[in-house]
Amino acid sequence: MTDEPNSDPKPPQKLEGQQSSEGEKGSSAIEPEVLDKLPPELKKAVESFSLQAFTGPVFHPILKKVTESHIDKVLDQTEKDSERDFEDAKSSRRYGFAAFVIICALFVFLTWYLTAVDKDLYRDIIKVLLGLVGGFGGGFAFKGYLDRDRE
């Protein structure tokens, strides 16, 4: 650039309040003579700044065509999706409760039946079941630890 201190080139016009019209999309608000005197790097920066400053927010063309009926359809679909999620959660809870009841009934039956028939077999079954439950709980806790560590 130049050796002079504070030699920042400033355009002679105020950039505030000036807006490019629809037909002037490629032109900037700065006069061409001033742009020609600028170094190439600064010229690119000024042109990109002026284009960003004077163009409004860019909307996708489809957004201009959205109507109230489209919004209503999206809201209806969202409501149906929420209802499906609720039904899925409800059926999942029912399945979990049914599995819990069956496991409890099986445990009570094994306890009632095997304590009268063979106590050693009952102890072995209880040891295996406690090992399975402990392994499942340990794996679940380890996965929770790993997930918490990743966050």
- Residue 117 is predicted with a pLDDT of 87
- Which pLDDT value is given to residue 15? 45
pLDDT at 36: 76
Residue 43 pLDDT > 90, yes or no?
A: no
* CA–CA gap between residue 3 and residue 41 (Å, rounded): 17
Tokens of 33: 């003579």
Task: Tell me the C-alpha distance between 144 and 86, whole Å.
Answer: 25
Closest listed residue to residue 126, CA positions, set 110, 112, 137, 138: 110
User: Residue range 38-60: average pLDDT?
Assistant: 68
Map out the domains of the chain as residue ranges: 10-58, 62-113, 118-151
Contact predicate 29/15, CB 8 Å? yes
Find tokens 């909307």 and name the residue.
59
